[in-house]
Amino acid sequence: MEDFIRHLPKVELHLHIEGSLEPELMFKLAERNGISLPYANVEEARAAYHFHNLQSFLDIYYQGANVLITERDFFDLTWAYLMRCKADNVMHTEIFFDPQTHTERGIAFDTAINGIYHALRQGEKELGITSKLIMCFLRHLSEDAAFETLEQAKPHLHRLVGVGLDSSEVGHPPEKFARVFAEARALGLKAVAHAGEEGPASNIWDAMRLLHVNRIDHGVQCVQDPELVQELARTRMPLTVCPLSNTKLCVFDKMEDHNILSLLDEGLCVTVNSDDPAFFGGYMNDNFLALNTALSPSKEQLTQLSRNAIEAAFLNEDERKLLIQNLDDFWAKHGIH
């Protein structure tokens, strides 16, 4: 089964590029940019990647982002992630970036998006990995700050497929950003939002009804509301679930408690993703392997998780058909028990 998982064609829809900053690259960029880190070495930095809740994770996440200064830094960060995708047989990825994390500390919006975008294009050309880029608003900041970020993004709309909403969910409900999401959709952008991770099922309803999202990021707290579970199944509203993240942040005490397979069996469009892999213990293969160890999914279930991700991706029909064909070819070769 491990061999099956490692070779299974995959699509990732929930990845924060800043959250793929490994300690080794952090030290390399800090040295390049003359930045002092509060760690003596890579091992000490990796030890600091242990935390007890979402907020303590976010604190170190934003601290690590301080080493990202130049366009080259953002390129190198993105390229390192794409090499992980290549190793894990990720065919297509739709990544988040947090411009406010950088503009708040004086780094130009253009610097961040240029470095990320150029790496993604090179990844398609040299690695055969297709990609889309989603700009997230930080929900702990103000609505005005989100509108300012959307204004900064307007010269780059051709590079963006959508907007998202991340950072601290508790205390920052979806309605806070209803107006800026409406403007983003009017500009032709798709919409996604983190909801139902550490927050209640009502945040998922609000993300759908007030933000009119195309996907829910996380969404595992939907089980608090049976009516919501039925609605998610009926509409095939995608949930971009992040198993290792959920256990690392104690959404579930252990992987054996995770509800992704029960949601899959109820007909929900759940997908597997790595979220912030440098901090949460692994990339796509690691997440699939962790599910395999804890929940013993069938090959059919694992393949359906990939098929769901293709269904949920922001692709045109020709792009989607190509990925489905790759998955079908894999199943024809490896799916027989």
Ramachandran assignment for 47, one of left (phi > 0), alpha (psi -120 to 50 degrees), beta (any other): alpha
Binding residues: 14, 16, 194, 275-276
- Furthest CA-CA distance within the chain: 55
Q: Which residues are annotated as a binding site for Zn(2+)?
A: 14, 16, 194, 275
DSSP three-state, residue 216:
strand
Residues 271 and 238: beta-carbon distance below 8 Å: yes
Q: From the candidates 18, 22, 197, 198, which is the catalytic residue? A: 197
Give the Cβ contact number of residue 199 at 10 Å. Answer: 21
The residue count for the chain: 337
If DSSP codes are grouped into helix, strand and coil, which group holds residue 271?
Answer: strand
Residue tagged 């509301």 (tokens): 225
What does the alpha-carbon distance between residue 223 and residue 320 come to, in Å, rounded to a whole number?
30
Report the C-alpha gap between 104 and 163 in whole angstroms. Answer: 18
Q: Give dist(CA 59, CA 202) in Å, integer.
A: 26
Annotation: binding site for substrate? 276
Q: Please tell me whether residue 194 adopts helix, strand or coil conformation.
A: strand
Residue by residue, DSSP assigns 140-175 as TS-HHHHHHHHHHHGGGGGG--EEEEES--TT--GG
Cα three-residue angle 295-15-13, rounded to 5 degrees: 75
Residue 64 in tokens: 């690590």
Q: Is 317 a catalytic site residue?
A: no
Cross-strand bridge partners of residue 90: 10
CB atoms within 10 A of CB 147: 16
Give the catalytic positions in this structure: 197
